[in-house]
Copies of this chain bind each other. A is one copy, B any other.
Amino acid sequence: MSVKLVIIGSVAYDTLQTPKGKRERALGGSAVYASTVASYFTKVGLVGVAGKDFEPAHVDFLKKHQVDLQGFELKKDGETFHWSGSYGEDFGDATTHDTKLNVFETFDPVLPEEYCNAELVFLGNIHPALQIKIIEKVKKPKVIALDTMNLWINITNDLLKQAVSKVDVLFINFQEALMLAGEKKFAPAVDKLLKMGPDRVVVKMGELGAMCATKTDRFFTPAFPILDITDPTGAGDSFAGGFMGSLARHGDYSENGFRRSMLYGSAMGSITVEKFSLDSYLNLKPETIENRFNAIKKMVTVE
């Protein structure tokens, strides 16, 4: 089976503390979260880089999920990107204690030939120059989606806007949506982001859910209420993985198709935060995904 969805982003080890406990060097990174999640829906290729310390068990984890690793580079002359941080009692924004970019600092994604024909591309949160480089390489994807963060909004604003103008879907946090748009209110911010070029803006709002906007439509998906969050790391990338993966699986690019994908995104985000790191995906059953999807769909159904 050829790769239908290409995912570019970070491969990381996370040392983190949440109110539920501590983990040292747990598997993480935007590309790892999004690829693992999307693997439940479609054939995924991961483009990323790790170092000599990357454990064979973690390569096996990705292989077990049938993630294609042609574009995954294991560098022998450096260490894997390492992030340390902690979450307070509200599980809100993490406090970063340390960031060691290591091999990720010189990450220059090379797209395997086969990937240039992929139907969907997800550009995880990396430097906008690299995102643009990939956009220029892929041939005729049906959907290119891009995620970003406050760092790029602050230090590479023009380049980021250039990247955003070239994609179909922009994933962005609520606060970052206001920041990138330079607005104080939600509705005008979304309006402005759409004018930057993408057909769709997906605003992620954590435990309040997410909103998908086009010039003519708005769709809200709630977050599934998790009473006992363990680790919020990767929730946004899992949302993107579920969104892109389900789009690839059902191949329905109508407004309703995107809405279904919003629900799958929400489902996968909620599954990720129930356990540390990617532990939710050690033995996840496909019916758990469908049950979660149906539960969230029920949360928006009204006659």
A263 to B297, CA, bound (A): 16
Contact of A191 among B190, B211, B227 (CB under 8 A): B227
Contact A187 B299 (CB under 8 A): no
Contacts of A219 in B (CB 8 A): 299-300, 302
Does A186 sit within 8 A of B, measured CB to CB?
yes
On whether A260 and B227 interact (CB within 8 A), knowing A90-B184, A90-B185, A91-B185, the answer reads: no
Per-residue CB proximity of A269-303 to B under 8 Å, as 1/0?
00000000000000000000000000001111111
27 A-B pairs with CB atoms under 8 Å apart are: A89-B184, A90-B185, A91-B184, A185-B207, A185-B229, A186-B208, A186-B225, A187-B225, A187-B226, A187-B227, A188-B227, A190-B225, A191-B225, A208-B208, A209-B220, A211-B222, A217-B299, A218-B222, A218-B225, A219-B302, A220-B221, A220-B222, A256-B303, A260-B302, A260-B303, A263-B302, A297-B302
Closest CB in chain B relative to A302 CB, distance in Å: 4
Does A74 sit within 8 A of B, measured CB to CB?
no
Contact B299 A218 (CB under 8 A): yes
Contacts of A211 in B (CB 8 A): 222
Contacts of A297 in B (CB 8 A): 302
| Copies of this chain per assembly | 2
A207 to B222, CA, bound (A): 14
What is the interface residue range for chain A against chain B?
A: 35 or more
Contacts of A227 in B (CB 8 A): 187-188, 191
**A residues at B contact (CB < 8 Å):** 89-91, 184-188, 190-191, 205, 207-209, 211, 217-222, 225-229, 256, 259-260, 262-263, 297-303
A299 to B44, CA, bound (A): 31
Contact B220 A302 (CB under 8 A): no
Contact A220 B218 (CB under 8 A): no
